[in-house]
Amino acid sequence: MKPKVIMHTQISLDGCIRGFIDTGIYYTIANQFNADMVLFGSKTVCMAAEQYPPETEKAFIKPADMPEDKRSLWVVPDSRGTLRNLHVFRDSEYCKDFIILASASTPKNYIEYLKERNYDFIIAGDDNVDYAKAFEVLYDKYNCRIIRTDSGGELTNVLIKQGLVDEISLIISPCLVGTNTPQLFRSLSIQDKLELKLIGCETVDDNYVSLNYIIPKD
């Protein structure tokens, strides 16, 4: 079995993923899902800040798992072994710790990097991450029942194409951004039209719209 996968994104009225004012609505709605884990794309984590402080001894110590700790585990696919900034987010205000999704082709020195710093990782797939298998491990080994995505679009488009997304949550910002900003579904490639079922629609802060759809399974 796998966790329920909720794709949660804020976009402009013309479908852009950036260019609108951050009012905090995104996380207000996100927290309502009570997700056990949050799935980030590696590009999202890499671009979170322009500069990062160097590692300290704390970077090599796994944070204690405290029952009262309500922060989420962050799950990040990084089969190419590109991220070296995990220490910035580990044990931060929002992140409890990381689980890295790797594949058989992930560089060995990156696996050693993870081991030395006591990061959990899952190897699933040959060249790229096999998300279906990785989600099964998250369900069975880590007791993850709900996982929310927080991605710029490329990762979630892959998950939709592979039939792994159960629910889509969109917050529509009251603005038009234009063609110079990436759009949410720019890389979505599916052969057949995907029918959605609306399960929620509400106005938030008078000017934003929160939409929730489920993707019916055959």
Span 72-117, pLDDT tens digits:
899 999 999 999 999 988 878 888 999 999 999 999 999 999 999 9
Distance between CA atoms of residues 59 and 100, nearest Å? 15
- Grouping H, G, I as helix, E, B as strand and the rest as coil, residue 37 is strand
Mean pLDDT confidence for 131-143: 97
Where do the domains of the chain lie, and which CATH numbers do they carry? 1-36+153-218 (3.40.430.10), 37-61+69-144 (3.40.430.10)
Please give the torsion angle defined by the CA atoms of residues 13, 15, 20 and 26, in that order, rounded to the nearest 10 degrees.
Answer: 90
The pLDDT assigned to 179 comes to 78
Closest CA relative to residue 97, chosen from 109, 87, 85: 87
193-213 average pLDDT score = 95
Nearest to 101 by CA among 71, 69, 134, 132: 134
Q: How big is the chain, counted in residues?
A: 218
Can you tell me the distance from the alpha carbon of 10 to that of 18, in angstroms, rounded to the nearest whole number? Answer: 8
Q: Which two tokens stand for residue 196?
A: 């959605």
Nearest to 135 by CA among 173, 162, 164: 164
49 falls in which pLDDT band (50, 70, 90)? low
